Amino acid sequence: MTPSAPRKVESNLVAHARRELRLLGEDRDTIRGLCNVVQAFAHMGHSGSSAHHAIAYLEKLLRFEPLTELTDSPSEWIDRHAEGMTPTPLWQSRRNSEAFSTDGGKTYTLLSEQTAAGDIATTPLRRSRALPQAAEPETNA
pLDDT value at residue 139 = 58
pLDDT value at residue 61 = 96
Structural contact between residues 97 and 39, judged by C-beta atoms closer than 8 angstroms: no
Residue 34 in domain:
yes
Residue 7 in domain:
no
Number of structural domains, the chain? Answer: 2
Q: Which domain holds residue 92?
A: 74-127
pLDDT value at residue 65 = 95
Cα distance between residue 105 and residue 99, in whole Å: 9
Q: 21 and 58: one domain?
A: yes
Q: 58 and 78: one domain?
A: no
pLDDT digits (tens, 9 = 90+) for 59-92: 999 999 999 999 999 999 999 999 999 999 999 9
pLDDT value at residue 9 = 80
pLDDT value at residue 134 = 62
Residue 41 in domain:
yes
pLDDT along the chain (141 residues), means of 10: 68 96 98 97 89 95 96 97 94 97 96 88 91 64 50
Residue 133 in domain:
no
Residue 6 in domain:
no
Residue 3 CA: distances (Å) to CA of 8, 9, 10, 32, 121: 15, 17, 21, 26, 72
Tell me the pTM.
0.71
